[in-house]
Structures are given as structure tokens and as C-alpha cells.
Amino acid sequence: MAKKREKHFDPYIFYTTLTLVIIGIVMVFSSSYVQAKFKMDDAYYFLKRNIIYASMGFFAMMFVSKINYKRLEKFIPVIGGVTALLLVAVLTPLGISFNGAKRWLGVGGLTIMPSEIAKFASIIIVAKVIENKKDKISSLVQGILPPLLISGLFFILIVLQPDLSTGGTIMMTTFVMLFVAGMDLKYVYSMIGAGFGLLGIMIAIAPYRLKRLTSFLDPFKDPLGDGYQVIQSLYALGSGGLFGLGLGRSRQKFFYIPEPQNDFIFAIIGEELGYIGCIFLLLLFLFLIYRCIRVAINCPDTFSCMLVTGITAQIGIQVMINIAVATSSMPVTGMPLPFISYGGSSLIIFMAAIGLILNISRHVKLDRS
């Protein structure tokens, strides 16, 4: 008997992801080598680590793409329990503090961010809950509250670090998943209103968040304080013009933008590659999201549809927030640009999540155009 031919995954998602990761490796090196030489005495410090993270992410992506996604259902209690324990551990003396935030755990010589794991753990758990409750999704108590309570638990544990932006993306992703699942419009409007209300409360009770908001309204009022990063980001984007100053020729990475390889890497991209480079990057993200949506539309079951929807929403939300911050379209908050910003936990987990979408794409019928 002839062996059943294995179905191929969506090649467009695969190659677009790899293109983004390669751009990320190049731009992390370009944006970091000056400060890496000064701080670490090694201009290639971030480049070497980023290549290692990208390699680990690639193997994670290929591994996850080979295992049937339905097997995840057996491990959902373990995924939820381990994620919650890691988030709690961050708040204990085991957590590592940096710049006033306690968001990391040390593992040997490496650090991990449990909040990055929580983003996708919540998607997997919420996807299964929605599948179980799909016939009751119009009910507030039986259909909507269960997934909200799960995401809400992660949200609270992450906000305590404190990290409102990451916790917020988890809640926004859950909202998108519920919306796609068929949540009643009256609850859609209620959740949007409640979200803005909660955001207002979180800003009011934390003076530094209020300062970020007032600085966003007029960053030049405090150019050496809360408005500093945004102003330098705008200088970078403005000086790049249409075609940019050229790869490696950024001026703002010379200690004007702190940690330029992280949350403000889009500003360096705009400065070195110009408006054209920024548009090209955005088109890559849009194409990736488009292909993922096509997979979600053609999924064979609710669980896989919600998985793809959640991962796609998480990518889209982070891209919007990161670019909005870099262009002073919203208050400053720490949010890495997926596949581009430096960070091992983020890159590896995002690539593994793409591996899950590739896995699911094997089980759907898509034309390859």
C-alpha cells in the first residue's frame, strides 16, 4: 500500500515569517552594535544572541508544524498551570528586576519572560473554552465570562509586574476571539466601554502612567524627561525621509535612543531605510496577517479557527501598538515589534506560534495563489 502523501503547509506564511526574522536580525545588529561595543565591549553581542534565538525559534516552528495541533487539547491543563506558576514566580524573590519592573526569570545564563508565554497560553486555553461553549456564546454568563476569567487571571498577574501593555494585549486578543466566535454586539460595545473604563482607572492609580499620557499629549513639554524617547524617535523617522540614510547609518543609535534594538527599533528602520523601508515592512506584516486569516476562515473546526484567530490578532495588535508608540500616535509603552525587536522569549514563542498556524494550514484547503 502506498504511503499517504503528507500535506504541505502554507509556503507564503513560512517564507514571509523567515523574511521578517532575517530583517529583524539585520536591523537588531545595525541598531545595537554601537551601544553593544560600549556597554558589552563586543559590537556583535546582540547579533550573536539574536542568531541563536532565531535558530531556536526556527527549530521550534518546524517542530510544532509537524505535530498534529489537536494533541494540544490534552495538555491544556498543564499549559495553564505551568504558565500561572511562572507568572507567580516572577513576583517572588526568584523574579529579576530591571528598570523598575519585575518581568523575568533566570534559567542558567538566560532569562525568560513568562508574560510572553502567557500571551499564547491564554490563546490556546481560550480557544478550547470557546469551542466547548460555542453553542452558548450569546450568553454572558455561560459563553463569554469563562474565557474572560481565564484571560483576566493572566492579566492581573502580569499587571502586578507591572506590565499593563502585555496584559492589555491578552485581553484585546481574547476580545477579538470572542467577536469572531459570534459574541452578541451588545456585549461587544459593553466590553469596549469597560476596557476604556479599566484603562482609565489603571492610569489614574499609577502616577507614572498618567505622566506618560500627559507626555504623549505634548512630548516637547518635557524633552529631557518623559518626552525624550518619543522625540528622538520622531527625529529618527523624520531624518530618514523617503529612502533613508542608508543601512547602518543611523545617528539616533549613538546613545540618543536608549536600547534602540528593542521597542523603538521601528524608528531606526525608518531612519536607515526611510519611508519606503517602513512601508515594505508593513506590507510584509499585512500579507502575513492576510494569509493567516485565510487559514482561519478555512479551518476544519472551532478550536483550530480560534487558535489561528488568536495568534493573528496578537501579532496584529503588537504591530499596531509598537508602530503607534514609535510614531507618537499613542502613549509610550513597552511592546516589541514581532519578529523584529531583540528578545529571545518573544522571538522563539512567536515563531513557535507561526509553526502552529503552519500545522493547521496542512489541514485546510487553500489555493496557493
Query: Can you give the residue ranges of every domain in the chain?
Result: 11-362
Per-residue pLDDT, averaged over 218-237, amounts to 84
Contact 293, 312 (CB under 8 A): yes
C-alpha 334/C-alpha 321 separation (Å) is 9
C-alpha 226/C-alpha 232 separation (Å) is 11
On the question of pLDDT at 280 being above 50, the answer is yes
- Residue 5's pLDDT is what? 52
> Which tens digits make up the pLDDT trace of 30-58?
999 998 998 888 899 999 999 999 999 99
Q: Picking from 10-24, 101-115, 246-260, 275-289, which range would have the lowest pLDDT averaged per residue?
A: 101-115
DSSP lists the bridge partners of residue 256 as none
Distance of CA 251 to the CA centre of its chain: 27
pTM to 2 decimal places: 0.92
Grid cell of 241 as nine digits: 525621509
Longest dimension (CA), the chain: 75
Q: What are phi and psi of 249, to 5 degrees?
A: -105, 15
Q: What percent of the chain has pLDDT over 90?
A: 52
> Which tens digits make up the pLDDT trace of 79-127?
999 999 999 988 888 888 776 677 878 766 677 888 889 999 999 999 9
> Which tens digits make up the pLDDT trace of 281-293?
999 999 999 999 9
On the question of pLDDT at 253 being above 60, the answer is yes
Burial of 204 (0-12, 13-18, 19+ CB in 10 A): exposed
Q: Is 107 helix (H, G, I), strand (E, B) or coil?
A: strand
Per-residue pLDDT, averaged over 217-223, amounts to 77
Per-residue pLDDT, averaged over 151-156, amounts to 92
- Residue 215's pLDDT is what? 74
- Residue 276's pLDDT is what? 95
Q: In what order do the strands lie in the sheet with 110-112?
A: 95-98, 101-107, 110-112
- For residue 142, name the pLDDT band (cuts at 50, 70, 90): confident
Q: Where are the alpha helices (DSSP H) in the chain?
A: 11-40, 45-66, 76-90, 114-132, 145-159, 164-181, 185-205, 207-217, 228-240, 265-297, 302-326, 344-361
Residue 287 CB neighbour total at 10 angstroms = 14
On the question of pLDDT at 255 being above 70, the answer is yes
On the question of pLDDT at 4 being above 50, the answer is no
On the question of pLDDT at 3 being above 60, the answer is no
Within 8 A by CB and 6+ apart from 326, the residues are: 233, 237, 263, 264, 266, 267, 270
Distance of CA 112 to the CA centre of its chain: 15
On the question of pLDDT at 1 being above 70, the answer is no
Residue that the C-alpha cell 531612519 belongs to: 271
- Residue 148's pLDDT is what? 92
Between residues 92 and 340, the one the model is more confident about:
340
Pairing relationship of beta strands 110-112 and 95-98 according to DSSP bridges: unpaired
Q: Picking from 102-111, 120-129, 257-266, 295-304, which range would have the lowest pLDDT averaged per residue?
A: 102-111
- For residue 204, name the pLDDT band (cuts at 50, 70, 90): confident
